[in-house]
Structure 1
Amino acid sequence: MTGALDGAVIDAGPPLQQAIMAMLAVRAGRVVTLAQLIEGVWGDSPPPSAAQSVYTYIAGLRRAFEPGRGRREPPGVLARTAGGYRLNLDPEQVDAHVFAGRVAAAARASRAGDLEAAVRELDEALPLWRGRPLSGVPGPFCDDERARLEELRLTAVEAQAEALLRLGRPRDCLAQLQDLSRGHPLRERPRELLMLALHGCGRQAEALTLFEQTRRVLSEELGADPGAGLRQAHRVVLSGTGGPAVPDPLIPRQLPRDLLAFVGRSREIVRLRTLLDPWDEDPPHPFVVICGPPGVGKSALAVHVAHAVRDRFPEGQLYVDLRGGTPNVARLSSHEIFSRLLRGIGTPDDAVPVDEDEAAALWRSKLQGRRLLVLLDNAADLGQVRPFVSAPLGTAVLVTSRESLVAGDDCVQLRLGPLSDAEATAMLSKLVGADRVSADLGQTTRLARLCDGFPLALRIAGARLADRPDWAVGALTARLTDERQRLRELEAGELAVRSSLAASWGALNGSSREIDGDAARLLGLLGLLHVPDITVEAATALSGSPPYQVERALERLCDAHLLEATEPGRYRIHDLVRLFAGALMEAGERVLPLRRAIGYYAASARAAAVTSQPHRVHCSYPEVRERGRRFGGADEAHDWLRKEEPILLAAAFQAMADQDDDIARAGTAIGFALWWYQQRAYRVADLVSLGERLLATGRRLDDPVITMEGHAHLATGLYLRGDRSVFQHGQQHLRLARQLGDRFNEQRAHGNLASTHVKWEQFDDALEHARAQREIASGMGSRVGELYALLTIGRVCIELGRFDEALGALDEGAEMARRAGDGLRLVEFALARGRALIELGELATALSVLTDASGPARFSKMTEVGCLVYLARAHRLLGQGREAMRRGAEAVALAESMGSAYWLERAIKEREAAGPARDSVTT
């Protein structure tokens, strides 16, 4: 293979180097990666030296392209880019691109009725053809490219002949059609055109003989009869009239009407149009799939895009509903689909082979040289569509399915998710009117979210509102808020979310495959849990089956798009699917799975709490029998709590609302396990709401221990929020502890009340409670209680100006914490000591103590913000204005993010006291 650049002949070198050049030339101006070059030359089994060989061939091509380029001069024609290599040529400098462009221009002119222009374009295109393309050049890419270019040449010759016949010039195309028919005896279109050319030249007998020869060849080789085009040409010849030189072919236009209310999906539309209507005149991708959960709008998107690209497929668009997702209706068999498709392109009923393989062969034969779009809607699985997606290049098969079909050959799959809030609102505006929707945008957004952004649910909601013009949007929103009735409300006429979901579940439940049955059963169990997402471990606890079996079932549900894999080992279920799934289980079947799942969450949360903060005392009530997750260290446990907190909260609230007492008690165990983590993370609102639910559950169960712990939990949240009702719950905690004879909780309640009095600057009361805590804690050997008491005593004595007493308590407590390895308490003692030193005027020492503590203080937001405030104060008093301003600003930002009015007030005070950022200067 040779080439020419700027008039100079280029020797492309050995065959493999020619293959590299061909790939770069076909994609002129675009980047071709090293992996693509290797695959294009050697296929799936490249030699170990493939990459090095490519580098050698690239160097050879550069020498051929630019023989005079200096060694240090960068290449101008064949450039290296971050992604691979690019041949810096205009596509118009490559014959294959020019040829394809001329053929495409001729097709446009022909569609516009300008046959003379079409002939001119083809007259310029066909002389570019000089023998077999890429002759002798090896590799899969060149094999495919040869086939593509040859098919394009045949299409061009046929198009030129058709245009000449329509212009009444049959003699001008006769010889070329005779050559084409001899070279491709099973290709019907050239013989059809040749019959018409012979007829136009007055040679009817030869035309009729050609028809009989063609019928015999097709019967012997394919077991098929002549197609509609040949039969129509036969009728023209038999009529003996001039008639139309070329009979108008049957052009199928079977697409359903595009939806007037179609909105959004801009990114998906661009992607699909790029595949089906490539900008560079490449053939459309042969097999494109839109998959996703029931009701997400797969069919609507497919129809919309098919209408948008139909001009790219001038020989028609076929549509078949495969019934793979239609409830109580059998899906179409392969033979039924072949029959519909073949009839769609003009094949008579009696000409459709009974044998499926013969029908497939006839289908492929009739697609040769055609540009058809085939939309196969609602495919049940890959097996149902596999026979139809091996069409010749030029035909595109667009498939929608609830299943993943990505395993198919040459499949490009687009997974469709719910509409965004903006898209859903726009859809509702089209359905019920913009004025009605804009009257309450808040309710409209809520309605969209209750519909999960699923177009089917939105269409039903829109239909219900349109049918009730007196309803505000909020009226329907209120009805959908009740989860027990939501699926029932989302029904309008024959449209129903429930039946759409039932079809997908029914396909699994009715399958003979074991994995499908496992998946169907698991979906019902997943509907019992009202959590944002679920891991394999949690699903295993829920089902009671082996982990490997559960993971396979979860993945099968993802393939069926009834679940969504958010990351490896973690899955999410949409609300509408969850509501449907929850109704699959009988009431008596739900208790044991829920006990297992909630117990797993409780045991795991308790283990994580103990592992992440081993120096704290953790509530071990109520008893949890299930096994949970185990953790290798504090960081792993903390990270797990951070990630799982939304799931644990949802599980806790669901469990505590359950009527089964054991499930409710396990829910309280989850809540108690989160106590220390939520303080460290400063989850004030969650502490309060969880504390309120814990307290209510304890009272409902008439369980004094849960009630006591609920008061303590709620008091913590109220303390951080700055709510004075904290005193009431602190006193109730103390009262119940004494009533139960629980000395540990008695001293704990004294400690919490002491801190509460400090916050409201009631220092005498605080000191009384702190000393009471220390006395009880010391007597029962509770190091944790004694440490907390010493810390509070130190803080109170600072407030009272008794600094020597404060430092004594703080030093004693710090030594105890150091011996115990309690890092958090060490930081808290250091911060209090730093503050005492500031008050004593020992600023340099205070700054040193606080600086050393600043790293460990990041363990929790409360210690971090306190450290920043005291550092700002120490820097300010030392005259270090810039540092004071910096630390003060950091403290303000952190306090604002925490939502802590207490610390925000102190941080702002320090920042403002620092004044303009300046340092004192001594002379």
Structure 2
Amino acid sequence: MTPSGTADEPLRCGVLGEVVLVTGSRTRGFGRRRTAEVLAALLVDRGRSMSVDDVVAAVWGDEAPPTAATMVHGAVRRLRTMADEDRGRDRGRFVISRAGRYEVPPEVGLDAAEFEALVAEARPLTASSPARAARLLDEALALWRGPAYEGIEQALARDEAGRLEELRRRCAEMLAEVELALDEPARAVAVLEPVVTADPCRERSAGLLMLALARTGRPAEALRLFERVRVGLVEALGVAPGPELREIEAGIRTGGGAPARRGPPPPPQRPPVPVSSFVGREDDLGRIAGLLTEHRLVTVTGPGGSGKTRLAVEAALRNPTRAAFVDLTRSATPDRFDDIVAEAIGIRTGAGPPAVTVARALADESILVVLDNAEHVLDRCADFTRDLLGAAPSVRVLVTARERLGLPGECVHLLGPLPVPHPRAAPEEIGRSPAVRLFVQRARAVRPGFALAAEDVSSAAEICRRLDGLPLALELAAARAAALSLSELEAALGDRFRLLTHPARHDAASRRAGLAATIAWSRDLLDDDGRRLLAGLGVFPVTFDLPAVRAVMGDAGEDPAPTLARLVDTSLVQVDDVSGDRWRYRMFESTREFARTCLARDELAVLRRRHADHFLGVCRRAVPHLYRAGAGPWLDALHRDRDNLRAALAWADGPDGDTEVLVGLCTGLWHYWDVRGSRAEGVRLLATALSRIEPQHPERMGLLSALALLHLGRGEFGATETAATEQHRLARAAGDRRWEGDAQALRATVDWACGRFDRAQQRYEDAIAASLAGGDVWRAAMAEAQLARLHRDRGEPDAARALARCAAAHAAEVGEELAQGLAGDVLASIEQRWGDPATARRLVETALEHYRLIGYREGEASALALSGRLAVTDADPEGARICFEQAHDIFRRIGHRAGVTATADGLAALDAPGPRG
């Protein structure tokens, strides 16, 4: 076949309209909607690789069919085929795969990227070279063929389409301004009319269109447009037109057009020139700049020490208009506020309200007013800002505070800590981390020639993590690098509040800059309820939810929710997760340690007991749901509270603890430890719990079962046999068939692993009979699946298939995901070896879905490896490679050496020469 394109023609994608593929002058749409949706998912964040799961989530959300992954692979193949047909010999440059992930590489053109580049190029030319700017903006708007991502309804594409549409409207407004400056009002009218028709409440577009209409001799139309906008704003939003639109309307009525400009304002106080460089906040700075172009009031909130002032200084220095910087730390009380602001702006306060005086001085001059560190005069600052913005339409205000002002139209940017390295990050990734970069740069300031040596990388990463990436804490720690090695500095963080003060000077200003003083400043602004709750929250090791807070603060008499909200507002507590029906919160480690210092020893003891009792209740409520349908969300809930559960276990295991709480927690958590891979932790705690209870304790058989199972998962067969044998003896003595069957299944698995197949078979059969007699269908299903696997490995297909089907039937009766996944996984492997590959594929996809619903990574990797072998059978090397790579990555992460070896062999076989199948 002769290709319709050549390798010299560029390959481009179009999303400004229907999603299309463009080669030279040829534009091709997609006959299959799913193909377009998969491409859209990859294009929304072009250049970033996406796993198959990521693509499935983007396209189907929570309603993905079992075959969704296969459909993604098929869509990618169709996209590659289309690109290859158009590109001829230059194949494989579109939708590349790397480490089992897909991406559209950045060198593939995208009309949305071209559009944004043209707008960015035009923006600085609007004043200096308006004709050139007009040509660029015209070219940008001409790229649009219709609504962005037209026909793609997925949320990811809709969000990106909304962003692009907003930029399109801003581009039209910019072009209209340029056309007005070039005295081409008719062109401005043509550009703006569609924008105002689509969004009648967009005041900026309406104002520009009113000016353009007036300048084309149509003032009556301009005034009618104002009335339509006014009515629309009142009906849709309940607000009146803003001062800028009202001034334009007044100017048209008096025949003057746009409002007249007045003389220059007095020179304001400029932002302080920073001594140190700006590190790690480039994204935040860009976000602030963007917000200031769209909003007249932007407030940067965040905890003490997060770098709000430094960010505001940099934003002011880089702001294209003039900036006045007001340091409100000099205003110790609200009474001094007016004088401090007037001095910074360069005016004298008169008899009238200071905001009106400032507004009159600044007139309609474009200026940015920065009100820095406003939390202690928040109400006064809010009143001033509201009055100033209402009286001075060209003024914009940037506020930094530990909470928002709460004014209408306020846009809040929450400044979090600097990103810290992941605990498993490679050394080169650690060096690129913004938190480490800041730490290293500040360390060089006190120790010239400082460099991050290989032996110091892990210490630097740990310092940054323990200090939560807070810039103030990192800078104070780096200052100690002149006297301490990084390993010594890491160890000294146990007494961080004494360590992290200014090391050189001891005046009042430097003492206020210490870490403890920074947190204390926020605490001192709270009322008594806020201080008490802040101290009590120190008992939580990381995250927590509102029911846990209520349980721990149980004697307060009042609901702590309003006070908790206040702590969030003041940035002492952070919102960690808003998914689900319960929000989760957290405190930075330094704040948590400070909170604990506010508690007396007896107060801390009471709170820790309440904390442990609450999470014992969490476990007990979860247990009945872990062995039935819908177990996944309950396992997820335990996983979210894993740090709290560990803290409760540590207390129960400690000198002030309670053995019954320890036993109850272990009884409730063993299944979670097994499924989510925390077996070493479980083995230690279960052994401790067993050592503290009597031989006839009612929970002993369950604890022995759990201990044997976790030892088995770690390949510790001798310890498994010892625990399971004692469990079997106790069960026989008590006549408990359920625990008897469980013990026999555990011992059978040891026999199987050690090559004692006949004895393993007999014990599995005994286990199944005992479990069913004891009414434990779940354990019977698990034992049947294991016995089916034994028959499979012995080359007995009929027995293996029969038992696997029994296991599947019993698992379906119970409905629990692990049992269903295991039964389906085993049956799929039997069908792959002796039966129908199509049936095997269906079964393994279903098993994979079950495993993922409960987060069973070991099972997920097993099913992926089987999917890889099935893809090899289907002569699909690309699909096999993706499955093997994903399985290999999971096996490597969970430390499953046999799985790592098997999947590595599968990948090697794909690269070996010769036929496959």
Deviation, 1:885, is: 9.6
Q: Deviations over 1:493-526 (max 9, x none)?
A: 413212211221221125xxxxxx2x43332222
Q: Which residue of 2 aligns with 1:538?
A: 548
Q: Which residue of 1 aligns with 2:635?
A: 641
Q: 1:498 to 1:891 in 2, by over 3 A?
A: same
Q: Which residue of 2 aligns with 1:336?
A: 336
1:693 equivalent to 2:796? Answer: no
* Amino acid paired to 1:753: R
1:726 equivalent to 2:717? Answer: yes
State how 1:672-687 maps to structure 2 within 5 Å: 672-677=667-672, 679-680=674-675, 683-684=676-677, 686-687=678-679
Instruction: Say which of 584, 588, 605 aligns to 2:598.
Output: 584
3-state SS of 1:317 partner: strand
Instruction: Say which of 758, 771, 777 aligns to 2:752.
Output: 758
* Amino acid paired to 2:383: P
1:378 equivalent to 2:481? Answer: no
Asked whether the equivalents of residues 291 and 416 of structure 1 are also in contact (C-alpha less than 8 Å), the reply is yes
Asked whether the equivalents of residues 403 and 560 of structure 1 are also in contact (C-alpha less than 8 Å), the reply is yes
Q: 1:883 to 1:435 in 2, by over 3 A?
A: same
CA distance in 1, matches of 2:282, 2:775: 67
3-state SS of 1:508 partner: coil
CA distance in 2, matches of 1:473, 1:557: 33
State how 1:134-533 maps to structure 2 within 5 Å: 136=223, 138=226, 139=230, 140=241, 142-145=245-248, 154-155=260-261, 158=263, 251-253=267-269, 255-274=271-290, 286-309=296-319, 312-313=321-322, 317-322=324-329, 331-333=332-334, 335-343=335-343, 352-353=350-351, 358-368=353-363, 373-380=368-375, 382-389=378-385, 390-391=387-388, 392-405=392-405, 407-421=406-420, 422-433=433-444, 435-439=449-453, 440-466=456-482, 468=483, 471-480=484-493, 482=494, 485-492=495-502, 493=506, 494=511, 495-510=513-528, 517=529, 519-531=530-542, 533=543
Asked whether the equivalents of residues 788 and 826 of structure 2 are also in contact (C-alpha less than 8 Å), the reply is yes
Q: Which residue of 1 aligns with 2:180?
A: 94
Q: 1:488 to 1:756 in 2, by over 3 A?
A: farther
Q: Deviations over 1:722-751 (max 9, x none)?
A: x3x232144134326635855444442331
* Amino acid paired to 2:407: G
* Amino acid paired to 1:611: H
CA distance in 1, matches of 2:669, 2:649: 15
CA distance in 2, matches of 1:420, 1:870: 38
TM-score (norm 1): 0.61
Q: Which residue of 2 aligns with 1:214?
A: none
Equivalenced residue count is 662
Instruction: Say which of 879, 885, 894 aligns to 2:887.
Output: 894
CA distance in 2, matches of 1:656, 1:456: 34
* Amino acid paired to 1:544: G
Deviation, 1:454, is: 0.9
CA distance in 2, matches of 1:562, 1:447: 21
Is there any run of 5+ residues in structure 2 with no aligned partner, and where?
1-117, 121-140, 149-164, 186-213, 231-240, 421-432
Deviation, 1:424, is: 2.4
Q: Deviations over 1:192-223 (max 9, x none)?
A: xxxxxxxxxxxxxxxxxxxxxxxxxxxxxxxx
CA distance in 2, matches of 1:524, 1:650: 19
CA distance in 1, matches of 2:357, 2:381: 17
Asked whether the equivalents of residues 544 and 641 of structure 2 are also in contact (C-alpha less than 8 Å), the reply is no
3-state SS of 1:403 partner: coil
CA distance in 2, matches of 1:813, 1:387: 70
Higher relative CO (CA 8 A, sep ≥ 6), structure 1 or 2? 2
Asked whether the equivalents of residues 872 and 888 of structure 1 are also in contact (C-alpha less than 8 Å), the reply is yes
Deviation, 1:591, is: 4.4
CA distance in 1, matches of 2:818, 2:300: 53
Deviation, 1:438, is: 1.7
Q: Which residue of 1 aligns with 2:647?
A: 654
Deviation, 1:476, is: 0.5
Deviation, 1:338, is: 1.5
Asked whether the equivalents of residues 457 and 490 of structure 1 are also in contact (C-alpha less than 8 Å), the reply is yes
* Amino acid paired to 1:386: A
Deviation, 1:296, is: 0.7
Deviation, 1:874, is: 8.8
Q: Which residue of 2 aligns with 1:107?
A: none
Asked whether the equivalents of residues 541 and 596 of structure 1 are also in contact (C-alpha less than 8 Å), the reply is yes
TM-score (norm 2): 0.61
Is there any run of 5+ residues in structure 1 with no aligned partner, and where?
1-28, 32-74, 100-127, 160-188, 190-248, 279-283, 325-330, 511-516, 615-633
* Amino acid paired to 2:729: R
CA distance in 2, matches of 1:752, 1:746: 10
CA distance in 1, matches of 2:286, 2:800: 70
* Amino acid paired to 1:376: L
Q: Deviations over 1:631-676 (max 9, x none)?
A: xxx33x413423x344332122211211376667546544543443
CA distance in 2, matches of 1:699, 1:758: 29
3-state SS of 2:450 partner: helix
Deviation, 1:755, is: 1.0
Asked whether the equivalents of residues 892 and 904 of structure 1 are also in contact (C-alpha less than 8 Å), the reply is no
Q: 1:552 to 1:132 in 2, by over 3 A?
A: farther
Q: Which has more radius of gyration?
A: 1
* Amino acid paired to 1:428: F
Percent identity between the two aligned chains = 21
Q: 1:749 to 1:884 in 2, by over 3 A?
A: farther
Q: Which residue of 2 aligns with 1:5?
A: none
Asked whether the equivalents of residues 516 and 594 of structure 2 are also in contact (C-alpha less than 8 Å), the reply is yes
Q: Which residue of 2 aligns with 1:224?
A: none
Deviation, 1:447, is: 1.6
Q: Deviations over 1:669-693 (max 9, x none)?
A: 445434435545xx33x12223323
Of the structure 1 ranges 829-838 and 686-695, higher mean CA displacement relative to structure 2 is found in: 829-838
Q: 1:826 to 1:272 in 2, by over 3 A?
A: closer
CA distance in 2, matches of 1:885, 1:91: 53
CA distance in 2, matches of 1:570, 1:254: 41
Q: Deviations over 1:304-356 (max 9, x none)?
A: 333334x833xx735232468xxxxxx422x42212333556666xx754xxx
Asked whether the equivalents of residues 566 and 572 of structure 1 are also in contact (C-alpha less than 8 Å), the reply is yes
Q: 1:370 to 1:655 in 2, by over 3 A?
A: same
CA distance in 1, matches of 2:466, 2:710: 31
Deviation, 1:463, is: 2.1
CA distance in 2, matches of 1:702, 1:147: 89
CA distance in 2, matches of 1:677, 1:803: 33
Asked whether the equivalents of residues 655 and 664 of structure 1 are also in contact (C-alpha less than 8 Å), the reply is no
Q: 1:386 to 1:833 in 2, by over 3 A?
A: closer
CA distance in 2, matches of 1:702, 1:259: 67
Q: Which residue of 1 aligns with 2:90?
A: none
Q: Which residue of 2 aligns with 1:227?
A: none
Q: Which residue of 2 aligns with 1:102?
A: none
1:770 equivalent to 2:770? Answer: no
3-state SS of 2:276 partner: coil
CA distance in 2, matches of 1:907, 1:581: 49
